[in-house]
Chain A
């Protein structure tokens, strides 16, 4: 694996992880896309030799399995991102932003001052 590949994968993972830490869904989606591509590049880079085609009959054919894996992974990643975009859009039509919010019920439990086995207050 060449240094360029290693650097590219590293940068994609770093940028992706940074974006994933945000609360805005659009940034999370971008982060997911970055990491997804990072993984795909990694699979191709680490599992086959560069410069050879995965075609049976070529003099020096490389393994075609990683290419098949990555192709599947790309399609799945595409579907995931499409779904998340739809989710972000729906979130935006409901309250005008696409921030991931905290759980209302969790906040209620956190606010409770007196422990009361039966519950019931709020």
Chain B
């Protein structure tokens, strides 16, 4: 019994409810900062607890027996995801506060942002499939609002695609949950892990594929990714940074749970093929665009492929590498979008035909872009190198040469495409001409720069602390690879 776990879900939702009524922006900002700082703190405490005792914390809400109740489960993976996501949410909140003046911001922005954070926590902690569906709805609903908040033509157009696609995803997920319930009589994942194994193979396969389709749309894997590069670029950069860093990763997280707990070792080859195709198509899409936000959006798709590939290896070390990849990818991707946000705020665009020569205006901004960009491409000594290296090494050890060759080739193309942003935006003559007497870029956007520097610093920290962090990921993967521990923790308690 540990009702502590419910706090990162309950507190933001309650706060969001009050903030919708209290429209004073300064008040809204203070409360949001306090709430998100509190969830960072709670997540870190949970992480320490889980790592210290090497146990799985569970809470059965309402005091019911845990096989019936809504269960919240924090194992090593969920605790780690909670910590990373709450830190990124807090940094991006600071960025968003710096991005727009107090009265420019819609009074619904921060409440929606808090609901999003509650939805994320719930998705990571959900111990039953239906609760996971509700969590997805919660964060999707918040994301619909954030994406279309300004109500401009471009936002409504791309928002429509996004909403329709994700509503279809919700339908598929609900259908899958309903059918799982019909087949087994439960939605509790620990109970399911036992009962699904007793089903006839064909039924289990159908349920597995249905769940994979639903989570695959969410994670934007090939061939279900096309909504992502279409809709993300039209949102403000602070929103896109959160979406890019966290929303698709929830899908990956759900796929990890499905493939380790519910249907262990079911679809390895399928996942490898999907992973390879996702990487390749994503990076090729990125190469055809000339606007930074669009290029980065395609790279989200491409990077998801690596994680799917890691799950597809189906080994404990493969899973450990995937978890490490997730951890490194979330801050790297978010920081790239934040740099884009600063560029757009300063120059009004991030398109190569309008902007260039930023490196001569601000060297530090160029460095802030370069570190996550090289990390994304997987160059040493950055965190991306370690993440890709551990995946590739496991791929060779496992004998999956084809997909590993694709992975290395794609990381080369990623580097090419990052170089394209670099030459397009940061080199060349200074356009547009800055106003006379305006020196530098970052000093004019203090809050935005501070939060970007913090996240980029975080990615460097991941590289420095890679040893202990990787050990933690390996322990998390061992927990995942042994569903009996999860089952024991939930049902036994």
Q: Do A and B bind each other?
A: yes
Q: Measuring CB to CB, which residues of chain A are less than 8 angstroms from any residue of chain B?
A: 20, 25, 28, 32, 35-36, 39, 42-43, 46-47, 63, 65-66, 69, 72-73, 76, 79-80, 83-84, 87, 90-91, 94-95, 100-101, 103-106, 109, 112, 117-122
In the complex, what residues of B have CB within 8 A of residue A43's CB?
A: 178, 181-182
B294 on the interface (CB 8 Å rule)?
yes
Q: How many Å lie between the Cα of A46 and that of B141 in the bound state? A: 28
Question: Are A20 and B156 within 8 A (Cβ)?
Answer: no
Additional A-B contacts beyond A39-B175, A47-B181, A80-B170 (12; CB < 8 A): A28-B164, A39-B174, A42-B175, A80-B167, A87-B148, A87-B156, A87-B159, A105-B233, A117-B420, A118-B424, A120-B352, A120-B353
Q: How many Å lie between the Cα of A120 and that of B178 in the bound state? A: 50
Question: Are B288 and A87 within 8 A (Cβ)?
Answer: no
Question: Are B168 and A94 within 8 A (Cβ)?
Answer: no
**Complex partner residue of B156 from A73, A80, A90, CB under 8 angstroms:** A90
Question: Are B151 and A90 within 8 A (Cβ)?
Answer: yes
Question: Are A120 and B290 within 8 A (Cβ)?
Answer: yes
B53 on the interface (CB 8 Å rule)?
no
Chain B 132-159 interface 0/1 with A at a Cβ cutoff of 8 Å (1 = within): 0010010001001100100101101111
In the complex, what residues of A have CB within 8 A of residue B294's CB?
A: 105
Min C-beta distance of A42 to chain B, whole Å = 6
Question: Are A47 and B288 within 8 A (Cβ)?
Answer: no
> Interface centre among B151, B153, B167, B185, by most A CB within 10 Å?
B167
Q: How many Å lie between the Cα of A91 and that of B158 in the bound state? A: 11
Jot down 17 A-B pairs with beta carbons below 8 A, ordered by A.
A25-B160, A25-B164, A63-B185, A72-B130, A76-B134, A83-B163, A87-B160, A87-B163, A91-B157, A91-B160, A95-B153, A105-B289, A105-B291, A109-B289, A117-B420, A120-B352, A121-B353
Question: Are B144 and A83 within 8 A (Cβ)?
Answer: yes
**Complex partner residue of B230 from A32, A66, A103, CB under 8 angstroms:** A103
**Complex partner residue of B160 from A63, A100, A121, CB under 8 angstroms:** A100
Q: How many Å lie between the Cα of A118 and that of B154 in the bound state? A: 25
Q: How many Å lie between the Cα of A9 and that of B143 in the bound state? A: 30
Write the chain A residue with the least CB distance to B181.
A47
Write the chain A residue with the least CB distance to B162.
A87
Q: Measuring CB to CB, which residues of chain B are less than 8 angstroms from any residue of chain A?
A: 68, 130, 134, 137, 141, 144-145, 148, 151, 153-154, 156-161, 163-164, 167-168, 170-171, 174-175, 177-179, 181-182, 185, 187, 230, 233, 288-291, 294, 352-353, 420, 423-424
Query: Given known contacts A28-B164, A87-B148, is B130 in contact with A69 (CB within 8 Å)?
Result: yes
Min C-beta distance of A98 to chain B, whole Å = 8
In the complex, what residues of B have CB within 8 A of residue A94's CB?
A: 153, 156
Q: How many Å lie between the Cα of A32 and that of B174 in the bound state? A: 13
Q: How many Å lie between the Cα of A88 and that of B187 in the bound state? A: 34
Q: How many Å lie between the Cα of A39 and that of B168 in the bound state? A: 12
Q: How many Å lie between the Cα of A37 and that of B279 in the bound state? A: 36
In the complex, what residues of A have CB within 8 A of residue B182's CB?
A: 43, 46-47
> Interface centre among B161, B175, B423, by most A CB within 10 Å?
B175
Q: How many Å lie between the Cα of A69 and that of B159 in the bound state? A: 28
> Interface centre among B156, B159, B185, B288, by most A CB within 10 Å?
B156
Q: How many Å lie between the Cα of A100 and that of B291 in the bound state? A: 23
In the complex, what residues of B have CB within 8 A of residue A87's CB?
A: 148, 156, 159-160, 163
Write the chain B residue with the least CB distance to A100.
B160
> Interface centre among B68, B158, B290, B424, by most A CB within 10 Å?
B290
Question: Are B163 and A84 within 8 A (Cβ)?
Answer: yes
Q: How many Å lie between the Cα of A33 and that of B187 in the bound state? A: 24
In the complex, what residues of A have CB within 8 A of residue B230's CB?
A: 103, 106
Q: How many Å lie between the Cα of A106 and that of B290 in the bound state? A: 11
Q: How many Å lie between the Cα of A65 and that of B68 in the bound state? A: 9
Min C-beta distance of A115 to chain B, whole Å = 9
Write the chain B residue with the least CB distance to A115.
B288
| A-B interface, 10 closest residue pairs, ranked by CB to CB distance from nearest | A119-B290, A46-B182, A43-B178, A120-B353, A76-B137, A103-B230, A47-B182, A100-B160, A94-B153, A39-B175
Query: Given known contacts A43-B182, A72-B134, is B174 in contact with A79 (CB within 8 Å)?
Result: no
In the complex, what residues of A have CB within 8 A of residue B233's CB?
A: 105
Min C-beta distance of A122 to chain B, whole Å = 7
Write the chain A residue with the least CB distance to B68.
A65
Q: How many Å lie between the Cα of A35 and that of B352 in the bound state? A: 44
Question: Are B178 and A69 within 8 A (Cβ)?
Answer: yes
Q: How many Å lie between the Cα of A104 and that of B234 in the bound state? A: 11
In the complex, what residues of B have CB within 8 A of residue A109's CB?
A: 288-289
Write the chain A residue with the least CB distance to B144.
A83
Write the chain A residue with the least CB distance to B290.
A119
Q: How many Å lie between the Cα of A73 and that of B170 in the bound state? A: 10
Write the chain B residue with the least CB distance to A106.
B230
Query: Given known contacts A43-B181, A47-B181, is B158 in contact with A103 (CB within 8 Å)?
Result: yes
Question: Are B352 and A100 within 8 A (Cβ)?
Answer: no
Write the chain A residue with the least CB distance to B356.
A120
Query: Given known contacts A94-B153, A94-B156, A118-B352, is B174 in contact with A73 (CB within 8 Å)?
Result: yes
> Interface centre among A28, A66, A73, A84, by most B CB within 10 Å?
A73
**Complex partner residue of A100 from B164, B178, B187, B289, CB under 8 angstroms:** B164
In the complex, what residues of A have CB within 8 A of residue B290's CB?
A: 119-120
In the complex, what residues of A have CB within 8 A of residue B154's CB?
A: 104
